[in-house]
Structure 1
Amino acid sequence: MRPAPSPEAREAARAAARWLTLMEFDGDAFDSAALQRWRDSSADHEAAWQKALRLRERFAGVPPSLGMATLDRPAMARRAVLKRALGVAALVPAAWLLGRELPLEVWRADLHTATGEQRRWSLIDGSTLQLNTDSAVDLDLKARRLVLVRGEVALKVTGTTPLAVQAPYGLITVSRGEVCVRLSEHRCRVSVVSGSVQLQPLRGPSLMLEQGQQVSLQAAGAGPVGAFDGAQPDWRDGVLVAHNQPLGDFLRELGRYRPGVLRWDQALESLRVTGSFRLENTDRILALLSASLPLDVQMRTRYWVTLTPRKNIA
């Protein structure tokens, strides 16, 4: 089985696909110098770009039958058909590249959300399931079990029969209450908003978490139990909250909700952010950061944003 790509490799593949599409379809937005800087900034970037070019060559040919079918059309119609055909030829390698770097399980999942999307479902017993940005779950309601494939979920159980969340690092069983489960590359964070939940890590003994407690499950077992404020607004309310948080950490979290590339100068990492921000408009969040902190937001396109320190103008 092919090993799962790292988050860095997946993001590099997404960026390479976007660059390829810009190069083919949007000459005004395409910047060859910016592309070169992106390629030079990381070995992962260069590898993803070379893969994109190889795929472009593989899919570049227009089928002869399609070309022959346009010969008896008027000139304008012929150009339109060929343009669509060439468009498909350019988009296919971009889609192929993304498909190779994103796990097949995500595409096959019963429920999933796109980047920046949040959705809520009511289950047949009255329980509620929410999926955060870029998340996916499979359902096995006969077994009263959800399988977390990717991302983050909130499960609120109101019935008398327990529901379980199966994650790669353990099983989380909710009898009556609400739990948030966030899966990352090497761990799974479990936070109990209300009630209590039982955890069965892959290794080590089971444990019970009560309201206001959270723990990280890893391949080696459960980490130390900590506390959090379950009444604090968060993604379930469409809000991103920061309390004197380093800007770099805030932007890494914000990037989960924005399609495209969000970059910033390392000099901005240690600036501090405090506030509550509505996730429905991440462009507005960037504008608010620019208004309250000494930084400028440079939008090459909606999907390629860079934050830089503001220059003092004498």
Structure 2
Amino acid sequence: MTALPSNSDSAVDAAAHPPTHTTIPAQAQARIRQEAIAWYARLCSGDATDADRAAWKRWHESHPEHQRAWQHFDALQSMLQRVPGHLAASTLQASRRSRRRVLRGIGALVGSGAVAGLSWQLAAGMGGVRSWLADYRTGTGERRTVTLADGSELMLNTRTSVDVSMDPTRRLLVLREGEILVQTAHSLAGPGAGAKEGRPFMVHTPQGRILALGTRFTVRSEGGEGGDTVVSVLQDAVEIQPLQDASRSLRLQAGQQASFSRNGMLPAQAADPALVSWVGGNLIVNGWRLEDVVRELARYRPGRLACDPAVAGLRVSGVFPLADTDKALAVITRAFPVRAAGLSRYWLTLVPV
């Protein structure tokens, strides 16, 4: 886990962004950094094979710039090891107010209707009753893996709810909210899978439908009926179709992703490793705005986590373990001119120092 400022004279920045050579174009440097991030995501996914590790070694040794890019991750791991467990907590508690001031703040929230608004979000904005009654669901910060009746594997990310329906004619997942990784029984069994694996495997979201074509893929649905679904394919292919435009469909191959709403979809593009890094327990980002990093980390912790507009545009590259967002925030506050301010760890905003 780490966070790196894009322009800093600190030792952290020096370790994270080693001097570049003018002989390497900026576009090539960006491509190499993206390759390094993709390799890191793969090796941390829990599914890396000996062949993957051998391929990484060949990539690492094939060019000095590859080794230079990989030093970024070595520096990040070294920095993380220097952050004691108590520092993560103390950093976030540094701005903690007295009990009396906290109570006054809570009273102000109640008086302004903020608590009522939060209750409404829990009941409606995060999936409502159907999400609470779903066949499988996860709470904030929880990940869960289940084996379905047909042998397919389903991994649920944080704040996710899924209904499952299996019958002789089809296999259907209804993603009420959140994010899942699906590995169908066909892809697990490989060539020659049994007849029952020939049943279509579909995922429905509030925005549309995904048909799996013997594959491994992720699906993320946000914003209810007015939001978007993002699909990223790791193996084989899928076909996506917006709910209100049945005449249109798009096939995605391995290494591609696409976003769609109820009314339409965007063209396929190269998959972003950050979209699937959660499978290995990490958030891996490359040049993200701090505001976007904070928004993503907020999915994995209870309460409210926000970013002041004054620092929202800071660019972040790094690897953050999702199981310990306190430590992630502690590293951010060490690497950037920001601090965590708020009533408690459950109501925080990153603000300028």
Report the counterpart of residue 264 of structure 2 in structure 1.
Answer: 221
Per-residue CA deviations over 1:120-156 (Å, capped at 9, x if unaligned) read 1122333210111111010102231000101111111
Q: Which amino acid aligns with 2:236?
A: G
Say if 2:234 is the partner of 1:193.
yes
CA RMSD, 1 decimal: 2.7
Counterparts in 2 of 1:234 and 1:298: CA distance versus 1, 3 Å: same
Which residue, out of 220, 234, 250, partners 2:277? Answer: 234
Question: What is the TM-score when the length of structure 1 is the normalising length?
Answer: 0.68
Q: Which amino acid aligns with 2:300?
A: Y
The residue aligned with 1:147 is: 174
Q: Percent identity?
A: 36
Matched-pair contact (CA < 8 Å) for 2:153–2:182: yes
* Paired amino acid for 1:153: I
Larger-Rg structure: 1
Q: Which has the higher contact order (CA 8 A, sep 6+)?
A: 2
Query: How far apart in 2 are the matches of 1:96 and 1:230?
Result: 34
Alignment of 1:1-314 (within 5 A): 30-33=102-105, 35-36=107-108, 46-49=112-115, 51=116, 98-99=122-123, 102=126, 103-142=128-167, 143-159=170-186, 160-161=197-198, 162-185=200-223, 186-202=227-243, 203=245, 204-229=247-272, 234-298=277-341, 300-310=343-353
Q: Distance in 1 between matches of 2:328 and 2:120?
A: 32
Give SS of 1:266's match.
Answer: coil
> Against the structure 1 CA distance between its residues 224 and 29, is the aligned structure 2 distance closer, same or farther, given a 3 Å change threshold?
same
The 8 Å contact of residues 140 and 302 in structure 2, kept in 1 or not, is answered as yes
SS in 2 for 1:288: helix
Residues of 1 paired with 2:308 and 2:183: CA distance?
40
Gap regions ≥5 residues in structure 2:
1-97, 187-196
User: Structure 1: 5+ residue runs without aligned partners?
Assistant: 1-25, 40-44, 53-93
Task: State whether residues 192 and 230 of structure 1, in contact with CA within 8 Å, keep that contact through their aligned partners in structure 2.
Answer: no
Q: Are the aligned partners of 2:207 and 2:229 in contact in 1 as well (CA < 8 Å)? A: yes
- The 3-state SS of whatever aligns with 1:287 is helix
- Amino acid in the other structure paired with 1:170: G
State the shift of 1:46 in Å: 3.0
